Structures are given as C-alpha cells and as structure tokens.
A = this chain, B = another copy of it.
Amino acid sequence: MPKALIFDVFGTVVDWRGSITREVRTLAERKGIRLNAGKFANEWRSGYQPAMDRVRRGDLPWLNIDALHRLILSELSAKYQLNQLSEKEMDALNRVWHRLKPWPDSVRGLKKLKQTYTVSTLSNGNFSLLNNMAKHSQLPWDCIISAELFGHYKPDPETYLGAAKLLDLEPGQVMLCAAHKDDLLAAKACGLKTAFIKRPREFPPSVNLDLSFDKRFDFNAESIVDLADQLSSG
C-alpha cells in the first residue's frame, strides 16, 4: 500500500472548465462583451500544453503556470474581444485559475484519505496558485508539491521522483492519482503506484476521452470518494 497520495489538480480535483466558463461569462456580461465563454475556456486550456512544451524544449525560459496562462490569455484576447480590458483586469482574470472549484466529491474524498495517508498536490500549477486555490476551496492538503519546485513540468520524471524524494519515500510508496492516463503512465514508468480517477465532464462532450478502466493502473475509481473506499477495503 502507498504511504502518500499525490494528486494531479486541474481536471482531477477541480473543474477548470465549469469554473472558467462561469467566471468569464459573468465578466463578459458586466463588460458588455459578446463571447462564447465555454469555447474561450477550452481554448485557454488548450494553449497550456503547447506553452509548457515550449518551456520544456527551451524555446522559453522557465515560466510558471501563472505566467503561461497570462501569455495565452494575451494571445487569445483579440479573438474574444477581451483586449478592451485593462492590464489590471486581465491580471485579475488570469487569477481565475486560483479560484477553480472542486468536483463535488473532492473535499470529502481528500478528507477521508488524509486520515490514513499524506495527501499532496503534484501539479504543474505554481506553488502560490495551488496554495491560494486550497485556501479558496478548503482543499485539505497536507502539503503543496508543485512542478515549480523542480524546475520541470510533468510528465518529466524529475517531478514524480522529486515528489517521492521530498517526502523521503521510495517511488513505490507514492501513488499518483489523476484523471489523465499519460500523466499516470509517466509516473508508473518512474516506479510510482497509480490511480485513475474518471472525470467524464472535464472536457466538453465533443471531445472523445478515453475513460475506460485500465489494468495498467493499481486503482481505477469513479471519484476520489470511491478511491478512498477502495483503499480502505483493500
């Protein structure tokens, strides 16, 4: 059994799509801007992986996720008529990522797991973003571990192995819990245990997600509460 559970956050613990859609819709109405808030949220999120890849390849220096989100937001602003916002308003909008709402089971599931295990983030989100989000939504982390601490983004091995080392555990004593199979497979390749958490509503229905349970992972769960139940009966 693992001693520490480390969680992917965007999509696995919090609902970025719903949170951003709601907040941008409200902002647009207040400002009289016409935009498709759901499409905007998806496009903002889509810029994230390519932006991290630019850092990973060395085309960009190390930039944290706040900076990458801000870069993508600037690139999208003309298309969505957000360029009428001031720099200060754009900065405030960028902080929406600090205010993402948890899935309905997340807080309860983490509280249950915390009774037995160390529960931590292992997210590409920067440390302050993860800390602010936890304060905002009462996510009961024991500690915050961010890719920022290692100067590497997931799925670089430095992140998974770095988390185990910080916790002074062997990789096999640490389990990554995530809704994304590529993240889990990279952790597994480093020797970590893995738990797949199904999040069918992370992306819009038009996206063809692989939500199948998968024997390559140690656990497959319908939610964080379900994972806690499986672990306590296991």
- The interface of chain A, by Cβ under 8 A from chain B, is 66, 118, 126-128, 131, 134-135, 141-144, 148-149, 166-169
* CA of A66 to CA of B167, assembled, Å: 12
Q: Which of A127, A128, A143, A168 has the most CB of B within 10 A?
A: A143
Choice from B128, B135, B143, B144 contacting A168 with Cβ under 8 Å: B128
* CA of A81 to CA of B149, assembled, Å: 41
A166, B128: Cβ atoms closer than 8 Å:
yes
A102 CB to nearest B CB, Å: 16
A142, B149: Cβ atoms closer than 8 Å:
no
A127 proximity list for chain B (CB < 8 A): 143, 166-168
* CA of A93 to CA of B144, assembled, Å: 28
A135 proximity list for chain B (CB < 8 A): 118, 142
Choice from B66, B134, B169 contacting A142 with Cβ under 8 Å: B134
* CA of A134 to CA of B166, assembled, Å: 15
The closest CB in chain B to the CB of A128 belongs to: B168
B66, A126: Cβ atoms closer than 8 Å:
no
The closest CB in chain B to the CB of A134 belongs to: B142
- Sort A-B residue pairs by CB-CB distance and give the 5 closest, nearest first: A128-B168, A143-B144, A127-B166, A131-B143, A128-B167
Q: Which of A141, A142, A149 has the most CB of B within 10 A?
A: A142
Q: Which of A66, A128, A149 has the most CB of B within 10 A?
A: A128
Given A66-B168, A149-B149, A168-B126: A118 and B131 interface contact (C-beta under 8 Å): yes
The closest CB in chain B to the CB of A166 belongs to: B127
Can you pick out 16 interface pairs between chain A and chain B where the beta carbons lie within 8 Å of each other? A118-B131, A126-B168, A127-B143, A127-B166, A128-B166, A128-B168, A128-B169, A131-B143, A134-B142, A134-B143, A135-B142, A141-B142, A141-B143, A142-B144, A143-B143, A149-B149
